[in-house]
Homo-oligomer: A and B are copies of this chain.
Amino acid sequence: MTSVSAKSGRSLSDLFVEAAKQALDDAGVDKVDSIYVGNMMSGFLQNQEHLGPLMATALGREGVPTYKVEGACASGGVAVNAGVKALLSGLEEIVLVGAVEKMSGYSTAEVTTGLMMAEDRLKVASTGVTFVGLNAMIAREYMHKYGVTHESIAQFPVLCHQNAMDNSKAQFRKKIAIQDVLQSPLVADPLRLLDCSGIGDGAAAVVLAPKDAAKKFTDSPVEVAASAVASDLLSLYRRQDITTFEASKRASDQAYKLAHVKPNDINVLEVHDAFSILGVMALEDLGFAEKGSGTRLLDEGECERDGRLPTNSFGGLKARGHPVGASGLYQIAELALQLKNEAGKCQVPRAEIGLAQSVGGIGGTVAVHILRGMS
């Protein structure tokens, strides 16, 4: 993965190639049978599509089948899922999956419009509501329904900033306190600046291969024990309950079944905390806490690196950064490092089974991956 930065000054292909080459070098493979590129906003922000051959050309690997896969903010996770299916099809042996997003260098209005492409343009975006505005409605409803304070929820970004201190590739390496969150500028009531992930550029990549082939390349492969994607009604206004993401439940239920594990078996977790409230909801929707009680895990320190359920150990979307279409792949790359015991200062003890949850839009798409160490 590349560093996440709002001042990268780099092109989509520069970013992608850095991550892809790292992944190929780390995997020790030279052959690539296909390339999947996860990305959300290149058409709108860069006026650039056809990212498949753009990246294959930049990597010197033109010829192979290439695909751009888009699932809004979950594009990275969805691209990995598509790559896993390609492997399972038996048609390909070595699949490179990368994801990239470049968000810097544009006006706030442009990025705001870009993010709202994840919602229904005609029925929702046209009203003028913003992406953070929709998430603020979720936060408000959640706090009201379950009697949870902003102070409790603010523990999530505090945790992420703490973890990012040890991640040299993180965008925000600055320790913050709960009071910093509560006193930061209001963005969309009740969400404040430090409840929200920032704007950044970045790319991440992984190499997928069948288990037997993977063992030829590396002594410490990581098993993709489950890869699941689910959708939901696209728009928030159509949902019965906006304090839960049905797609998170669907995708994680399927993933637990595929991997033959239970939430209790997970000992390293990456969740999609684009906004603080989403991190808390994820803990519940993925089965780690009862509805309305996700913050208790934070109260009890369970999500810290030495806790029972180390969460967002590299800083999560909030502090490692959230180059939207790429974040789902950062999560998976970070889990892989944890399970290979190569996470450096971010390493958590006993990392055996990891779960990554990537959310597209306001929960219209959720990708869940369960990875298992094999070394």
Q: Name the interface residues of A15-70: CB closer than 8 Å to any CB of B.
A: 35, 40-44, 46-54, 56-57, 62-70
- How long is the Cα–Cα vector from A117 to B39 in the complex, in angstroms? 14
Known: A42-B43, A62-B232, A71-B66. A50 touches B360 (CB 8 A): yes
Q: Mark A242-254, 1 if CB is under 8 A from B, else 0.
A: 0000110010000
Interface: A129 (CB within 8 A): no
Q: Is A82 an interface residue (CB 8 A)?
A: yes
CB distance from A49 to the nearest CB of B (A): 4
Known pairs A53-B233, A53-B234; A47 contacts B85 (CB<8 A):
no
Distance of A365 from chain B, by nearest CB (Å): 6
A interface SS class: mixed
Per the bound structure, the CA–CA distance linking A261 and B52 in Å amounts to 28
Determine if A223 is an interface residue (Cβ-Cβ < 8 Å).
no
**B231–A64 touching, CB < 8 Å:** yes
Given A122-B11, A234-B57, A44–B47 Cβ distance below 8 Å? yes
Complex: chain B residue closest to A71, CB-CB: B52
Listed in ascending order, the chain A residues whose CB lies under 8 Å from chain B are 11, 35, 40-44, 46-54, 56-57, 62-72, 78, 81-82, 84-86, 88-91, 113, 116-122, 125, 228-235, 238, 246-247, 250, 360-361, 364-365
A-B contact pairs, 6 of them (CB 8 A): A44-B49, A48-B121, A57-B234, A57-B238, A67-B69, A85-B85
Specify the chain B residue showing the minimal Cβ separation from A14. Answer: B122
A82 CA to B90 CA in the complex, in Å?
Answer: 13
Which one of B44, B89, B361 contacts A53 once the chains associate, using CB atoms below 8 Å? B361
The answer to whether A50 touches B118, judged by C-beta atoms less than 8 angstroms apart, is yes
**Cβ distance A125 to chain B, nearest Cβ, rounded Å:** 7
Residue of A53, A81, A119 most packed against chain B (CB within 10 A): A53
In contact, B89 and A52 (Cβ under 8 angstroms): no
